[in-house]
Amino acid sequence: MASRRWWTAGACAGAAWLAAGFARAEGDRREPDDVEVELDPNAPAEPPRSEPPPPKPLPAPNKPRDAEPRTGLLLRIAAGPSLITSHFVMGTGVGDPIEAVFVGAGTNLDGRIGWGFLPGMAAGFRGGALVVHCWRRDGKDGPDNDMPAAAIGMIGGFAEMHPTLLGGFHLDFSPAFAWLHLPDPSGAYREAANLRGINTSLIIGYERRVAGSWGIGVQARADWGLLFHNDPNVDGAAGTFEWISPGIQATATYF
């Protein structure tokens, strides 16, 4: 009986020892919930933490020049091929007047300086020349019946509009004073050297800026002109030279 109590007491003591061991091991794995930390009153205070600076704003996208209204100084040069058809009537004072229809081809040159005074609107001065060689087309062949190489000079003004108020397409109307110049005024058409009159041009073009304020483009134009001649010293020595000239030009523009 005594031995049984002894074994029972030993088993209980062993179980208590194992339970105490497990409790210590579990306590080592757990962090204390409340730990009091003693602060050293002589320790330097930590500087206050500042908030991080706000992010820098993204740079604004570059605004293309073609998206800005065009104002200010305008310079443009243009050159390109043109055709011409003309009706020439010249009185000589003796007999029947000289009358002929000519066709030809050549180069149309143009220069302009102006000012964009409103967004999408510009006006200024222009000068140019239509340099052509014409052939008769009324069946009368021969060197004496061909008009020699000639130049029609033009000087006047222009008004230009950009429908979008920006770049791109532009419309142009240009009235001008015009005259006919013959390098060799001898021959049957020598009196044509005194022809003076008017010229108008209608232009539609497109340009694209390529560097700063400079742009390049292309334009189609149609010229009409009517020149007159009247020699007060010769009765009946009056004449007209009417022409139409379509063409296309390459352009370089500062605007």
Dist. CA 215–CA 32, nearest whole Å: 78
Q: Which residues of 105-140 are buried (b: 16+ CB within 10 A; e: fewer)?
A: ebebbbebebebeeebbbebebebbbbbebebeeee
Whether the pLDDT of residue 22 is over 80: the answer is: no
Q: Is the pLDDT of residue 23 over 90?
A: no
Alpha-carbon separation of residue 26 from 16, 20, 23, 35, 81 (angstroms): 16, 10, 5, 18, 101
* Model confidence at 77: pLDDT above 90: yes
- pLDDT more than 90, % of the chain: 31
Residue 141's pLDDT band (cuts 50, 70, 90): very low
Q: Which of 106-110, 210-214, 221-225 has the lowest mean pLDDT?
A: 210-214
Identify the weakest region by mean pLDDT among 50-54, 141-145, 172-176: 141-145
Residue 167 has pLDDT above 50, yes or no: yes
Phi, psi dihedrals of residue 239, rounded to the nearest 5°: -160, 170
pLDDT value of position 27 = 52
Mean pLDDT of the chain: 76
Contact assessment for residue 120 and residue 161, using Cβ atoms and an 8 Å cutoff: yes
pLDDT, average across residues 60-80: 73
Domains belonging to the chain, first-starting first, are 72-254 (2.40.160)
Mean pLDDT value of segment 44-62: 70
